[in-house]
């Protein structure tokens, strides 16, 4: 959030920017104390003798870093990340696979086959761009719309779909709503519904890593711009900075929190605008540009491992509805959605980049998309047939050991089911 | 279901007597020190603050992953429980956090998730509510919702609680009942230095997240001989401090000392020999000890500083009537704080102190 500089001439066409320029030109002059800082412990700042409030127009907005243009061409060749061919293809295929899974599972919820779903449309580039720049050892705390990260980490379609069905192969044992994935093996902490709670947790986990000698792991924490309004977000930014934690706070700013547009969410310069104010290394990137996200996270990881916490704000657009319980045309125009589906589509941008490098073509696209779709459909059919976990799993894992009062309740339920099992869908669940 | 074998040196020793020697600490109770050592070995006279400090010192010494943090913990804490620990173990292990309780709880959960031992301090239990979401929605449900893949069992949240003579609304509260409703948490309240050390070490080693509520009025003045070595007292077990047959008196924290005095007065004035139980663990609580005692005595008084309605006494009373119905000679009585915020100048009239408990007990015995 650099104090306004003299490079405003490019934006003179907009009135508010003229106002900004004027306001900045009258920034109070430092004339006292020889320009030296005052001695107050709370801030390192000089005195001024002119009373002047600062506001959101006192600073340049943080610019949006991009590597690719809308045609998938690298704008500045010095910024093109050196990613090998296989990794690039893996990144792209993950985006397509995710997109196909979203389409099928969204439809299956509409048909009542699963209870709930949330798609990732428009944000696929954020997921794979960031995941590819991390080490598989780095710990991920996600919000819920980051499934591409999980896929890129190696979670299988089978694992994801088993979770959505809550069948006995779901490692979460069917206790959580769909899309609340987690995988110890892939260092992905189980997602929970309360927003932003994962943020200070990620900072704490990063602090634990920092204390391990020769630490080579960082923590990445994803959250939406709506979640950033929660108190936990403020706590996390402040704790990360003051306790110097190896953490990347990654904001997906997709313009909406359910129906609430960003101008009802905040009035400052987005989420990135808060980073420097709290002492975080901060960058804003084009979230539809997978390579820009990759570069940002790659550098953020280096800073984080040096115990310099980072805030990344990736700008994007939530193309799909908030969830299957939401019809987003009730609060935003169709044309707006279409613009982001077409010209600013992260999958398309990366595809054009791959095509220009001769790594992909229409034929490959057609074959892979079909394959990806078939995998999802097949997996879903299998997942559907699998039994739910044994009912006793309902009372396990509340504690490490089951306390006597819970044992008693389990026995109570057991006796009850002996008599009244006909009142319950027992055939859905695994037997002893 | 696996059974965790814990290093509990004192497991067979749940019956415990207290000294008749008492010391007047405030207008509302006398302190009854423990007369028996919880484990064999060298002891040293400690007040409750020193016993807690000693427990954390031993933890930091023996567990390199352990960290201690909260508001003003670095210089020793506003109640001095962390005194000297930063000098001894370094600023990366004993440190101040920004002033933000939801951050402290969330940060602690994260530490524990990554495998560290996290001892978080909330400056007063009255200020734990900003962390309620992190503790109830997150800490309590971490293991369950992940199918056992992740947990935050390494987390212990310490918070000074209870009346202190002049704490008013926000330095006096006893929030245990709010947390007793959160499956997945363990909630523990000690009555003095020995219990504090043994239970705090148990909470820290426990594989579930624990909330450890420390009655702050006992920090400095409650003193007794405490073993200098590490030892644990079992979570989920109550202690019978005084055996009797006329009625069962159940309390925790400071209130235990009120009930011990009431039992003594009942003996002197009414010739009634009452059994006094320190519940110690609120969640999970020791149903076996409580039910056995009430089946023996047939009468029960539960007393706590927190307000009556939906206080933990309500859970005890309901469970006791369900399990001991045929043995009860009188309805279970509850002596509790009134259903009002904790007042400043009216504290003496607000608390279920000696006289109110004795009055309730008398009515219970004459029912």
**pLDDT under 50: residue ranges of chain A:** 1-25
Residues in chain B: 367
- What pLDDT does residue B352 have? 98
**Among A25, A115, A135, A193, which one carries the catalytic annotation?**
A193
Rounded to whole angstroms, the Cα distance separating B167 from A374 reads 66
- What's the rounded Cα separation, in Å, for the pair A83 and A88? 6
Q: Is-catalytic flag, A405?
A: no
| Among B161, B162, B158, B195, residue whose Cα is nearest residue B51 | B195
Distance, CA of B329 to CA of B331 (rounded, Å) = 7
How many angstroms separate the CA atoms of B271 and B249, rounded? 16
Say how many CA atoms lie within 13 Å of B259 toward its Cβ: 32
pLDDT bracket for residue B27 (50, 70, 90): low
Q: Which residues of B305-341 are buried (b: 16+ CB within 10 A; e: fewer)?
A: bbbeeebbbbbbbebbeebbeeebeeebbbbbbeeee
* Tens of pLDDT, residues B313-364: 999 999 999 999 999 999 999 999 999 999 999 999 999 999 999 999 999 9
What pLDDT score does A283 carry?
98
Facing A201 at nearest CB: one of B65, B93, B106: B106
Query: Is pLDDT at B5 greater than 50 in this prediction?
Result: no
Q: What is the CA radius of gyration of chain A?
A: 25
Residue B15: the pLDDT is 41
How far, in Å, CA of B117 to CA of B207, rounded? 10
For residues A290 and A351, give the distance between their C-alpha atoms in angstroms, rounded to a whole number: 10
Q: For position A432, what pLDDT does the model report?
A: 76
pLDDT of the residue at A339: 84
Distance CA B45, CA B34 (A): 11
pLDDT band, very low/low/confident/very high, at B24 (cuts 50, 70, 90)? low
Interface test with A, best of B71, B96, B147 (most A CBs within 10 A): B147
Reduced to 3 DSSP states, what percent helix, strand and coil does chain A have, rounded to the nearest 5?
45, 10, 45
Of chain A, the end-to-end C-alpha distance in Å amounts to 61
Strand partners, A261: A256
Q: Examine the residue annotation and report whether A193 is marked as an active-site residue of this protein.
A: yes
Taking CB atoms and an 8 Å cut-off, how many pairs form between chains A and B?
Answer: 164
Q: What pLDDT, on a 0 to 100 scale, did the predictor assign at position A10?
A: 40
Tell me the C-alpha distance between B237 and B253, whole Å: 14
pLDDT number for residue B18: 66
Task: Return the axis-axis angle of helices A290-305 and A346-356, rounded to nearest 10°.
Answer: 100
Question: Higher confidence at residue A22 or residue B291?
Answer: B291
Give SS3 for B158: strand
Q: Which residue of the set A127, A281, A321, A322 is catalytic?
A: A322
Among B208, B205, B212, CA closest to B230: B205
A124 is catalytic: no
Residue of B240, B239, B259, B243 whose CA lies nearest to B251: B259
List, in order, residues 6 or more apart from A224 with CB less than 8 Å away.
A143, A145, A195, A251, A252, A253, A254, A257
Write down the mean pLDDT value for chain B: 94
Residues of A with CB below 8 A from B3's CB? Answer: 401
Mean pLDDT over residues B39-47, rounded? 96
Residues 6+ apart with CB under 8 A from A421: none
pLDDT 10s digits, B75-125: 999 999 999 999 999 999 999 999 999 999 999 999 999 999 999 999 999
Q: Within 13 Å and on the Cβ side, how many CA atoms surround B36? A: 13
Q: What is the mean pLDDT of residues B238-266?
A: 98
Q: A345: how many CB neighbours lie within 10 A of its CB?
A: 22
Task: Find out whether B249 and B262 touch, Cβ atoms under 8 Å.
Answer: yes
Q: Quick one: pLDDT at residue B17?
A: 56
Q: Which residues of B touch A242 (CB under 8 A)?
A: 97-98
Look at residue B16 and tell me whether its pLDDT is greater than 60. Answer: no
Q: Do A401 and B183 touch (CB under 8 A)?
A: no
Interface check for A208 against chain B (CB to CB < 8 A): the answer is yes
Cβ–Cβ below 8 Å for A172 and B118 = no
Helix boundaries (H) for B176-251: 176-180, 193-205
B206 has a pLDDT exceeding 80: yes
Chain A contacts of B130, Cβ < 8 Å? 231
| A-chain residues near B148 (CB < 8 A) | 173, 396-397
Contact: A209, B114; criterion CB under 8 Å: yes
pLDDT band at B8 (very low <50, low <70, confident <90, very high): very low
Radius of gyration of chain B (CA): 20
Q: Give yes or no for a contact between A68 and A353, defined as CB atoms under 8 angstroms apart.
A: yes
The span from the CA of B299 to the CA of B293, in Å, is: 9
> Among residues A28, A1, A4, which one has the least CA distance to residue A16?
A4
Q: In chain B, what percentage of residues exceed pLDDT 70?
A: 93
Percentage above 90 pLDDT, chain B: 92
CB B67 within 8 A of CB B111: yes
Selected residues 383-422 of chain A with any CB under 8 Å from a CB in chain B: 396-406
User: Is residue B1's pLDDT more than 50?
Assistant: no
Distances in Å between the alpha carbon of A418 and those of A388, A425, B14?
19, 13, 38
Per-residue confidence band for B26, with pLDDT thresholds at 50, 70 and 90: low
**Contact of B162 with B305, CB cutoff 8 Å:** yes
Tell whether ipTM is more than 0.85: yes
Please tell me the predicted confidence (pLDDT) of residue B241.
98
- Three-state SS letters, A99-123: HHHHHHHHHHHHCCCCCCCCCCCCC
């Amino acid at each position: 959030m650099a104090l306004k500089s003299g490079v405003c001439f490019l934006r003179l066409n907009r009135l508010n920017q003229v106002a900004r320029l004027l306001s900045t030109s009258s920034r109070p002059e430092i004339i006292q104390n020889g320009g030296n800082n005052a001695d107050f412990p709370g801030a390192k700042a000089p005195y001024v003798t002119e009373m002047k409030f600062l506001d959101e127009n006192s600073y340049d907005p943080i610019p949006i870093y991009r590597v690719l243009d809308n045609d998938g061409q690298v704008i500045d060749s010095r910024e093109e990340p050196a990613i090998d061919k296989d990794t690039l293809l893996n990144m792209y295929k993950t985006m397509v696979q995710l997109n196909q899974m979203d389409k099928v599972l969204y439809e299956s919820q509409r048909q009542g086959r699963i209870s709930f779903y949330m798609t990732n449309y428009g944000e696929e580039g954020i997921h794979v761009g960031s995941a590819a720049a991390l080490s598989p050892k780095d710990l991920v705390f996600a919000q819920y719309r980051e499934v591409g990260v999980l896929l890129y980490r190696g979670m299988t379609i089978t694992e994801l779909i088993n979770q959505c069905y809550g069948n006995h192969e779901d490692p979460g044992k069917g206790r959580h709503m769909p899309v609340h994935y987690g995988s110890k093996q892939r260092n992905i902490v189980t997602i929970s519904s309360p927003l932003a709670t994962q943020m200070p947790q990620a900072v704490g986990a990063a602090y634990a890593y920092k204390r391990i000698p020769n630490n080579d792991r960082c923590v990445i924490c994803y959250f939406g711009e709506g979640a950033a309004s929660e108190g936990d977000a403020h706590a996390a930014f402040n704790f990360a900075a003051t306790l110097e934690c190896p953490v990347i706070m990654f904001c997906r700013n997709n313009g909406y929190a359910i129906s609430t547009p960003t101008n009802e969410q905040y009035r400052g310069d987005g989420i990135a605008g808060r980073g420097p104010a709290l002492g975080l290394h901060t960058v804003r990137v084009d979230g539809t540009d997978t390579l820009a996200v990759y570069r940002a996270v790659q550098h953020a990881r280096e800073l984080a491992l040096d115990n310099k916490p980072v805030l990344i704000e990736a700008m994007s657009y939530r193309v799909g509805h908030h969830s299957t319980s939401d019809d987003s045309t009730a609060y935003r125009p169709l044309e707006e959605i279409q613009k982001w589906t077409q010209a600013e589509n992260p999958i398309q941008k990366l595809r054009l980049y791959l095509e220009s490098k001769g790594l992909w073509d229409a034929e490959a696209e057609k074959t892979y998309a079909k394959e990806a779709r078939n995998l999802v459909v097949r997996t879903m059919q299998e997942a559907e047939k699998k039994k739910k976990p044994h009912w006793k799993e309902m009372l396990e894992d509340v504690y490490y050991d089951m306390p006597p009062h819970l044992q008693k309740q389990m026995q109570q339920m057991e006796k009850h089911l002996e008599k009244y099992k006909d009142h319950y869908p027992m055939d859905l669940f695994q037997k002893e | 279901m696996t059974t965790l074998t814990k290093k509990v040196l004192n497991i067979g020793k749940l019956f415990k007597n207290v000294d008749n020697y008492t010391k007047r600490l405030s207008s509302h109770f006398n302190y009854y020190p423990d007369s028996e050592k919880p484990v064999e070995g060298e002891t040293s006279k400690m007040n409750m603050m020193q016993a807690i400090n000693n427990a954390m010192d031993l933890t930091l010494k023996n567990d390199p992953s352990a960290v201690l943090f909260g508001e003003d913990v670095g210089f020793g804490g506003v109640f001095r429980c962390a005194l000297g620990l930063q000098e001894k173990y370094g600023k990366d292990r004993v440190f101040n956090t920004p002033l933000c309780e939801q951050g402290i709880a969330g940060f602690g959960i994260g530490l524990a998730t990554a495998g560290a031992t996290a001892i978080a301090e909330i400056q007063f239990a009255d200020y734990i509510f900003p962390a309620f979401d992190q503790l109830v929605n997150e800490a309590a449900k971490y293991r369950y919702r992940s199918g056992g893949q992740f947990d935050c069992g390494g987390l212990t949240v310490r918070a000074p609680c209870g009346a202190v003579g002049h704490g008013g609304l926000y330095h006096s509260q006893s929030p245990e009942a709010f947390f007793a409703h959160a499956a997945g948490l363990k909630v523990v309240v000690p009555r003095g230095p020995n219990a504090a050390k043994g239970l705090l070490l148990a909470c820290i080693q426990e594989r579930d997240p624990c909330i450890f509520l420390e009655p702050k009025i006992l920090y400095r003045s409650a003193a007794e001989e405490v073993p200098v070595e590490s030892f644990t007292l079992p979570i989920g077990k109550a202690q019978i401090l005084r055996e009797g047959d006329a009625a069962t008196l159940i309390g925790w924290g400071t209130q235990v000392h009120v009930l011990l005095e009431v039992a003594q007065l009942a003996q002197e004035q009414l010739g009634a020999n009452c059994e006094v139980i320190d519940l110690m663990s609120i969640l999970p609580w020791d149903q076996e000890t409580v039910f056995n005692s009430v089946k023996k005595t047939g009468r029960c008084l539960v007393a706590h500083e927190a307000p009556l309605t939906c206080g933990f006494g309500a859970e005890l009373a309901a469970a006791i009537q369900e399990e001991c119905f045929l043995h009860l000679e009188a309805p279970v009585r509850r002596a509790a704080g009134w259903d009002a915020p904790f007042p400043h100048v009216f504290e003496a009239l607000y608390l279920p102190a000696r006289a109110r408990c004795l009055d309730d007990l008398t009515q219970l015995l004459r029912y």
